[in-house]
Amino acid sequence: MRQRSLIAITAALTAGALTLTACGSRDDKDKESAEGGGTTVVIGVDAPLTGDLSALGLGIRNSVELAIKQANAKKYVDGINFKMEAADDQGQPSSGQTNATKFVANKQLLGAVGPLNSSVGESMQKVFDDAKLVQVSPANTNPAMTQGPDWNGGKKVRPYKAYFRTATTDAIQGPFAAQYLYNTAKKKKVFVIDDKKTYGAGLAATFKDEFTKLGGKVAGTEHVNPDTKDFGAVATKIKNSDADVVYYGGEYPAAGPLSKQMKKAGAKIPLAGGDGIYSADYIKLAGKDGKGDYATSVGQPVEQLPSAKEFIANYKKAGYKEAYEAYGGYSYDSAWAIIEAVKKVVEDNDGELPSDARAKIVDAMQDVSFDGVTGKVSFDEYGDATNKQLTVYQVKDTTDPAKGWKPVKSGTYTG
């Protein structure tokens, strides 16, 4: 009997030890896979999931999905199970508006993240605002979207109460690029090109305004069709000008080939642009002559933010095959801002969603404040992010496009 007891005790202890050893990892797994019950709240995400801009769009979608999965795993809002509904706008305003209408029709959908393009965002704002459905863009940078058409010099008026964004605006991005190119890179004559779209034309205008105020000269201006990939005529004009830098207001599908063709034509000067060209795909398209080109992008480099470490690790762990790209951290924070607003509304209503949840979530969003991937997340009276940081990047290496952009200067707006 004594021997049998000893064997039993040993077995029990060993089993116990093994169980304890395994506990941590199993708990984590259970948490990750937890779906939870309760009320379903859908968060929509609209971005270009196909087409030329899909690299940025898929990074947005994946990052929103990651935020939703983590909120569910943590059971962050008691009694609420979040789900994502993704819609592809292909970078087209008409598609964006159709998607916005579809989101509004889904009664379970209480907030939307997106879109990437300012022109697409403009087509969605009224649809969402009429339905009192909150929209948080991680990437729209056109100042007029939050401050009205007279933002520059006139009176700032917020056009839509339901619209928020986590990205810094072109009111800062363009001038910051101008300051860097004029003062630091010592560029004095610029050839300014834009794609005639809301984002590109607006960004080029804010750049040009500051560059000339600093004393810089404009060697030429051009407008191009971003759907055309043949920039031979413009490349020749650039070569024949005495510009020492080109500034392009637009996105990488056109900027990459433009950089390549102008250098091939003999204009061995750098191309600079905004967050629309800050992508590994730009380096792929521009080729080895893209080395030395510049881009500004919203925020501090995500890799430098301690708050982003966990996001980067979780994104990697989730196994997404597409990179989180320029807007991953901002997309995660946009989705989390909606989750925070839902949490506030549910808690203020005895743990249940009120019948007018959408309107209450819009109100709650104004007071949201949390430490996100990109730093402190909160919104000012216009719906703009209060955390206004941005960075100048330069292409330092073209052999591995994913690692080619390197930060050369970061700024914080404290005005």
Partner 1 sequence: MNAVGPVEPGENTYAQEAAAHEAAAPEPAPPARRGTRHRRTAIAAATAVALGAAGLGLYLTRPEPPPEPPPPWPSQSVSVTYTGEMSRPRAGERDFTFAVTFTQASGPPVTVRQVAQPSASLSVRTSPGPPFTVKTGTPRKLIITMHIRECGEVPRNAGLPFLEVTLRNARANERQSYILGPEYANDLSAALSAACPRTRVS
**Interface residues with partner 1 (CB under 8 A)?**
3, 6-7, 9-11, 13-14, 16-18, 20-21, 24, 172, 175-176, 178-179, 183-184, 209-210, 213-215, 300, 304-306, 375, 388, 409-415
Minimum CB distance to partner 1, residue 343 (Å)? 24
Per residue, the 3-state secondary structure of 369-384, as one string, reads: CEEECCEEECECCCCC
How many C-beta atoms surround the C-beta of residue 253 within 10 A?
A: 23
Rounded to an integer, what distance in angstroms lies between the CA atom of residue 101 and that of residue 135?
Answer: 13
Between 79 and 154, whose beta carbon lies closer to partner 1? Answer: 154
Minimum CB distance to partner 1, residue 292 (Å)? 20
Give the CA-trace dihedral at 26, 27, 29, 33, to 10 degrees.
Answer: 140
Between 7 and 34, whose beta carbon lies closer to partner 1? Answer: 7
Between 21 and 399, whose beta carbon lies closer to partner 1? Answer: 21
Minimum CB distance to partner 1, residue 196 (Å)? 23
Single-letter residue type at 89:
D
Minimum CB distance to partner 1, residue 272 (Å)? 16
Single-letter residue type at 286:
A
Rounded to an integer, what distance in angstroms lies between the CA atom of residue 204 and that of residue 207?
Answer: 5
Minimum CB distance to partner 1, residue 8 (Å)? 11
Ramachandran area for residue 91 (φ above 0: left; ψ -120 to 50: alpha; else beta): left
Minimum CB distance to partner 1, residue 63 (Å)? 20
Q: For residue 9, what are the contacts with CB-CB under 8 A and spacing of at least 6?
A: none
Between 183 and 228, whose beta carbon lies closer to partner 1? Answer: 183
H or E stretch including 135? strand 134-137
Asked if residue 115 has a cis previous peptide bond (ω within 30° of 0), the answer is: yes
Tokens of 87: 């819609």
Tokens of 39: 């009320």
Tokens of 286: 């521009």
Q: Closest by alpha carbon to 47, among 138, 176, 178, 144?
A: 138
Minimum CB distance to partner 1, residue 415 (Å)? 1
CA quadruple 167, 173, 177, 180: dihedral sign:
negative
Give Rg (Cα) of the chain: 24
Between 179 and 398, whose beta carbon lies closer to partner 1? Answer: 179
Between 7 and 402, whose beta carbon lies closer to partner 1? Answer: 7
How many C-beta atoms surround the C-beta of residue 150 within 10 A?
A: 11
User: Helices in 265-356 by DSSP H: which ranges?
Assistant: 280-286, 309-318, 328-347
Minimum CB distance to partner 1, residue 205 (Å)? 12
Rounded to an integer, what distance in angstroms lies between the CA atom of residue 124 and that of residue 98?
Answer: 8
Between 30 and 230, whose beta carbon lies closer to partner 1? Answer: 30
Minimum CB distance to partner 1, residue 214 (Å)? 5
Between 106 and 184, whose beta carbon lies closer to partner 1? Answer: 184
Between 208 and 344, whose beta carbon lies closer to partner 1? Answer: 208
